[in-house]
């Protein structure tokens, strides 16, 4: 029984928790940058870890202030002294687990039942306790051979006696979610670890980490102003901006730098949200997105440069072949697709709009004629989109896929706070890159037409259309006070080039991830399915 708390004392409640370890990929562990591929140990793991936490709770007896003011004590040796709650004669814990892993094949042999037990010993009930350390007597980490239903019993040992066991059941399932597509799928503009321009030394720290777990950051004003001045003086036209690169030390870290692929994309965020480790639901997430991809050059085949394959690092394979090579016989529970913006040419049209306004361009500096040319070209590309998506749908049939999700694009690239298109700002006010309000209206119109075509294609092929993204981005355009897009200055500072500009920033990626996760949760996670709980086949009955 715990002693009554004094005013300065803290009581930490007990807990009994069983959960499966996350399957979200980790940098440096699950993807091999030398071979440009996911490690087989990640795609088809030999074991899954279950963590049991039987922390009994603790009561603060003396804090550092109490000890420091006692005669004869050394302040440097001061520690908070706690007492574990519960019977004083507690000597340890006994853990037991029993369960049957899932069948690896639908009609294959039923695996043998798995059993294991472990006993820990408690040295003392009083001292300096850090309850979250993995080596505590009340924690147990056990590797089980695969997804399945597992029953865990935990008994507190009390000298020659034992307390009544606490029992819990965990249904471990592993859903495979893959992401393919263009820069919105790859995470362009959001490196896993930002770099730093070589020789840059502002008065304040380069960036302030707000939430290391999510990777959110805030660039200092000094850094942004430095980048803005650099762009203004050296990269004054759209053509020059496309080649803008500066030396970085340290360089940014990407899951796959040759694809601008990171684990901070919208689809990657969705995969994190879909995991529920306390319920045993795990997500194996594989991202294959490559910036600048189109359906034919990027998904079906490799990206091409000057008519030649441009993805030699991937074996000159498109994302679908890269995916098939990676997963082998695994069932895919959900395919997340972000594609279409490059097929229609929205980003290319944006470049043409701001570049061709300059006198001396092909349109002789006639903005009106330039907008008409861009709109006519987009109309042709939109008309060709359904056939390309049909080609993609046919290619997907060779994979074992549960559901397919086609994702909506933000349309408010240059909206003001009220959601109305406005003229450009920053780099989009340079003489060779001027973006007028009429240009912004056209960009939004083309994005809306693209989304309408994607929604129609999803319906035609029985796919799920992830909507709500355009509405969520309304009022948060590139020039808005609270933008959801990466600025040219941010891109230069974080990844050493301007390739990341006008892509969703961490906040925009978070919103996209939430929308995708909601759709997958509704149609895949919470919907009965004949598919699998594990890597190779459906979950077998445990009886």
481-528 confidence digits (pLDDT tens): 999 999 988 999 899 998 999 999 999 999 999 999 999 999 999 986
Per the structure, the count of domains in the chain is 2
d(CA 329, CA 533): 14
Is residue 159 located within the same domain as residue 250?
A: no
Q: Are 86 and 100 in contact (CB under 8 A)?
A: no
For the segment 170-196, the average pLDDT, to the nearest whole number, is 96
Greater model confidence, 2 or 79: 79
Tokens standing for residue 485:
């897009």
Can you give the pLDDT at residue 77?
56
Can you give the pLDDT at residue 204?
44
Instruction: Please tell me the total number of residues recorded for the chain in this structure.
Output: 543
Is residue 226 located within the same domain as residue 128?
A: no
67 three-state secondary structure: helix
Write the pLDDT tens digit of every residue in 46-104: 999 999 999 999 999 887 665 555 555 555 556 788 999 988 889 999 999 999 888 76
For the segment 431-439, the average pLDDT, to the nearest whole number, is 81
Decide if 36 is inside a domain. no
d(CA 372, CA 522): 42
Helix, strand, coil percentages (3-state) for the chain, rounded to 5, are 30, 25, 45
pLDDT band at 213 (very low <50, low <70, confident <90, very high): very low
**Does the pLDDT value for residue 234 go beyond 80?**
no
Would the pTM count as exceeding 0.85?
Answer: yes
Is residue 155 located within the same domain as residue 184?
A: no
Is residue 181 located within the same domain as residue 155?
A: no
Can you give the pLDDT at residue 86?
86
Q: How far is CA 190 from CA 227, 378, 493, in A?
A: 17, 28, 11
Can you give the pLDDT at residue 304?
83
Decide if 6 is inside a domain. no
HSE (side-chain half, CA atoms, 13 Å) at 493: 24
HSE (side-chain half, CA atoms, 13 Å) at 323: 33
For the segment 412-432, the average pLDDT, to the nearest whole number, is 88
Can you give the pLDDT at residue 355?
56
Is residue 239 located within the same domain as residue 96?
A: no
Report DSSP state, residue 276: B
Can you give the pLDDT at residue 210?
40
Q: Are 252 and 448 in contact (CB under 8 A)?
A: no
**Does the pLDDT value for residue 350 go beyond 50?**
yes
Can you give the pLDDT at residue 374?
87
Q: 57-61, 128-132, 183-187, 220-224: which range is least confident on average? A: 220-224
Is residue 354 located within the same domain as residue 503?
A: yes
Decide if 47 is inside a domain. no
Is residue 153 located within the same domain as residue 181?
A: no
Is residue 297 located within the same domain as residue 409?
A: yes
**Does the pLDDT value for residue 259 go beyond 80?**
yes
**Does the pLDDT value for residue 128 go beyond 90?**
no
Tell the burial category of 334 from Cβ atoms under 10 Å away from its Cβ (0-12, 13-18, 19+): buried
Q: Are 346 and 446 in contact (CB under 8 A)?
A: yes
**Does the pLDDT value for residue 203 go beyond 60?**
no
From 140, 164, 188, give the residue that closes a domain: 164
Decide if 470 is inside a domain. yes
Q: How far is CA 363 from CA 30, 369, 428, 444, in A?
A: 50, 7, 19, 22
Decide if 452 is inside a domain. yes
Can you give the pLDDT at residue 163?
80
Tokens standing for residue 194:
């930002």
286 three-state secondary structure: strand
Decide if 61 is inside a domain. yes
Can you give the pLDDT at residue 231?
79
Q: Select from 294, 295, 289 the least CA-distant residue to 323.
A: 289
For the segment 336-351, the average pLDDT, to the nearest whole number, is 83
The bridge status of strand 161-162 relative to strand 148-158 is antiparallel
Write out the E strands in 339-414.
401-407
Greater model confidence, 454 or 77: 454
Q: 139-153, 360-374, 491-505: which range is least confident on average? A: 360-374
3-state SS track over 12-35:
ECCCCEEEECCCCCCCCCCEECCC
185 three-state secondary structure: helix
Can you give the pLDDT at residue 241?
62
Contacts of 527 (CB under 8 A, 6+ apart): none
Is residue 141 located within the same domain as residue 196?
A: no
d(CA 396, CA 389): 10
Is residue 68 located within the same domain as residue 200?
A: no
**Average pLDDT value for the chain:** 86
Decide if 367 is inside a domain. yes
Residue 259's CATH number: 3.40.50.1110
The full DSSP string for 148-210 is EEEEEEEEEEETTEEPPPEEEEEEEEEEEEEEEESHHHHTTT--SB---BTT---SS-SEEEE
d(CA 12, CA 155): 21
**Which stretch, 202-206, 362-366, 452-456, has highest mean pLDDT?**
452-456
Q: Select from 388, 413, 407 the least CA-distant residue to 454.
A: 407
Tokens standing for residue 24:
């979200």
Write the pLDDT tens digit of every residue in 275-314: 999 999 999 999 999 999 999 999 999 998 656 668 999 9
For the segment 35-45, the average pLDDT, to the nearest whole number, is 97
d(CA 72, CA 78): 12
Decide if 44 is inside a domain. no
Greater model confidence, 207 or 332: 332
**Does the pLDDT value for residue 2 go beyond 50?**
no
**Does the pLDDT value for residue 3 go beyond 80?**
no
d(CA 260, CA 303): 13
Q: 145-154, 340-349, 450-459: which range is least confident on average? A: 340-349
Q: Are 137 and 121 in contact (CB under 8 A)?
A: yes
Is residue 138 located within the same domain as residue 266?
A: no
| Structural domain boundaries, residue 75 | 11-16+54-164
d(CA 56, CA 14): 4
Is residue 380 located within the same domain as residue 495?
A: yes
């Amino acid at each position: 029984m715990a002693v009554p708390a004094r005013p300065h004392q803290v009581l930490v409640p007990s807990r009994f928790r069983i959960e499966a370890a996350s399957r979200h990929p980790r940098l440096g562990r699950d993807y091999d940058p030398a071979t440009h591929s996911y490690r087989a140990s990640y795609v088809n793991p030999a074991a899954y870890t279950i963590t049991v936490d039987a922390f009994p709770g603790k009561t603060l007896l003396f804090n550092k202030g109490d000890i420091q003011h006692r005669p004869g004590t050394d302040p440097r040796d001061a520690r908070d002294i706690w007492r574990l709650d519960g019977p004083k004669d507690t000597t340890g814990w006994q853990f037991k687990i029993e369960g049957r892993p899932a069948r690896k094949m639908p009609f294959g042999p039923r695996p043998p039942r798995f059993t294991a037990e472990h006993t820990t010993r408690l040295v003392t009930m009083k001292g300096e306790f850090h309850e979250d350390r993995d080596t505590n007597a009340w924690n147990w980490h056990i590797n089980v051979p695969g997804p399945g239903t597992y029953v865990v019993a935990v008994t507190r040992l009390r000298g020659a006696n034992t307390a009544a066991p606490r029992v819990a059941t965990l249904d471990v399932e592993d859903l495979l979610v893959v992401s393919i597509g263009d820069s919105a799928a790859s995470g362009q503009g959001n490196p896993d670890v930002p770099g730093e321009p070589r020789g840059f030394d502002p008065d304040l720290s380069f960036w302030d980490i707000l939430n290391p777990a999510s990777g959110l950051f805030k660039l200092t004003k000094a850094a942004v102003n430095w980048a803005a001045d650099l762009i203004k003086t050296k990269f004054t036209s759209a053509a020059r901006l496309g080649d803008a690169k500066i030396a970085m030390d340290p360089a940014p870290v990407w899951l796959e730098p040759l694809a601008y692929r990171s684990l901070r994309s919208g689809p990657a965020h969705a995969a994190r949200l879909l995991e529920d480790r306390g319920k045993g639901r795990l997500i194996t997430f594989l991202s294959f997105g490559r910036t600048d991809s189109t359906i034919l050059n990027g998904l079906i085949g490799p990206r091409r440069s000057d008519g030649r394959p441009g993805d030699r690092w991937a074996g000159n394979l498109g994302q679908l072949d890269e995916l098939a090579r990676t997963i082998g016989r695994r069932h895919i529970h959900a395919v997340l697709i972000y594609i279409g913006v490059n097929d229609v040419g929205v980003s290319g049209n944006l470049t043409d709009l701001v570049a061709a306004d300059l006198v001396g361009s092909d349109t002789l500096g006639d903005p009106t004629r330039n907008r008409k040319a861009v709109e006519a070209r987009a109309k042709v590309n939109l008309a060709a989109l359904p056939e390309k998506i049909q080609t993609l749908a046919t290619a997907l049939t060779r994979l074992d896929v549960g559901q397919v999700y086609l994702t909506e694009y933000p349309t408010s690239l240059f909206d003001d706070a009220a959601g109305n298109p406005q003229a450009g700002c920053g780099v989009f006010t340079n003489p060779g890159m001027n973006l007028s309000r009429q240009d912004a209206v056209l960009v939004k119109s083309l994005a809306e037409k693209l989304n309408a075509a994607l929604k129609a294609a999803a319906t035609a092929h029985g796919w799920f259309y992830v909507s709500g993204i355009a509405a969520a981005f309304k009022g948060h355009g590139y020039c808005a006070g609270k933008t959801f897009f990466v600025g040219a200055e941010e891109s230069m500072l974080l990844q050493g080039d301007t390739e990341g500009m006008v892509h969703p920033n961490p906040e925009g990626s978070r919103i996209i991830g939430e929308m995708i996760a909601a759709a997958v949760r509704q149609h895949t996670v919470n919907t009965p399915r004949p598919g699998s709980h594990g890597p190779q086949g459906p979950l077998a009955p445990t009886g």
